[in-house]
Amino acid sequence: MRLFIAVLLVLVAGPVLAQPAPTSLDGLATWVQHGARPRNAEAAPERLTIDPALHAALAASVLDGGMEAGLHIALRDGRLSLARAIPGRRYRTADDCADCFFPRPIRAHTHPYENPFSVQDLMLAASNDDTMLMVTTAGQVWLALPTKRARRDARDSTPLRYALFGNRLECPARPPADGWAAPTAMGRRVEAVARAAATDLGLVLYVANPGEDLRRLAPTPHGVIALDPAQVVPAGDLNLYETTLLRLMAHQGRPALAATPFRPDGEMAPYDAAVATLSQSGPGAEYQGALALVGNLSARVSDEWLSALPTTVYTVPFGDLAAPTLPFRSVQMSDDCRSVLVLEGEQTFAPNTVVYARGWRRTVDEPGAANEAWAAMDPTDFPRGQVVPW
């Protein structure tokens, strides 16, 4: 019996053991096509070369106007090449290619900004067991490689959880041992969340700057209990950032209020009413806690709130490509994470820019209710250098 089990284990592990570890992105594609996966992050290759011509073609495929492109990468005779770049919608990737009859072991798309993978990207890679590539406006190539480690089902680690509690990952983050990969402050905040999500989902992250190899990023354990899908998070345990974001969503989700400016020092009644419904929503309400609250509120603003951009609630549907500008309201952390900022402004496209019109600030440790002690911001203190109201 023991011999039978040993033979069975070898057969099951065959795709991992029989295929030599790749040293290039081309080799990885062939490896993946044969069903091979590293057992865990430590067993994944440390570096992968990428053909300079492919890297240049990928970088040239990035779109303006807040739009993404679906990249159809062909694997022919052991070599990868960019066969199609199909424009998608704003924050949505197209995936139509009628004549793409070739092996595609690596799925790929672009981002219209300099940010790393979004949580949605990583959850799709984990749930579909896809090796996924993404390229940014800075010419960086990011790669997410699934492992053989037992992964959580993506449905158990919802994007809403990262969207709501992302500030708990961003603010305690320190530069990892291998350094930040994202080139901007905004990108580093996205990266802190992406690295944590990848670790949770059993993915290995790689990044390549223009002219460089893909290098494996070190896992960054976060130890934030709020991100454990089995952990109950009562609505009363939300911090100022989280409460303010949900108050904004409660405001935007009520037609009578949505047309009026949101003020963080305004009334609490819409948010208090949303919290009160948690105890009236049937069995399991206590278990769902804060995630039930954000789920209920996000359903009302599904066309204005995208959990890949969790701080931002647009005041018109973001999918309207005919709109040259989108007004938004945003909840952000200050650079030093000592204050919560509530900002209003407009995002313009082609070229992608953000202009803030007004804002409020409150320190995170200020005592009092969530609508107290807010101070109007001077325009000179508005965030700079952002192309997304992150």
Per-residue pLDDT at 3 exceeds 70: no
Task: State how far the alpha carbon of 374 is from the alpha carbons of 151, 166, 167, 263, 362, in Å.
Answer: 42, 22, 19, 9, 5
Per-residue pLDDT at 19 exceeds 80: no
Q: Map out the domains of the chain as residue ranges.
A: 2-221, 235-381
**pLDDT tens digits, one per residue of 63-79:** 988 889 999 999 999 99
Per-residue pLDDT at 110 exceeds 90: yes
Distance CA 361, CA 284 (A): 36
Peptide bond into 351 cis (omega under 30): yes
Task: State how far the alpha carbon of 280 is from the alpha carbons of 66, 231, 240, 274, 364, in Å.
Answer: 40, 21, 24, 10, 30
DSSP notation for 43-79:
GS-SEEB--HHHHHHHHHT--STTEEEEEEEEEETTE
Residues 342-366: what's their mean pLDDT?
93
The mean-pLDDT minimum among 11-25, 222-236, 316-330 falls in 11-25
Residues 30-55: what's their mean pLDDT?
94
Q: How does residue 151 score in pLDDT terms, banded at 50, 70 and 90? A: low
More confident residue, 158 or 367: 367
**pLDDT tens digits, one per residue of 320-331:** 777 889 999 999
**pLDDT tens digits, one per residue of 298-327:** 999 999 998 888 999 999 888 777 788 999
More confident residue, 379 or 149: 379
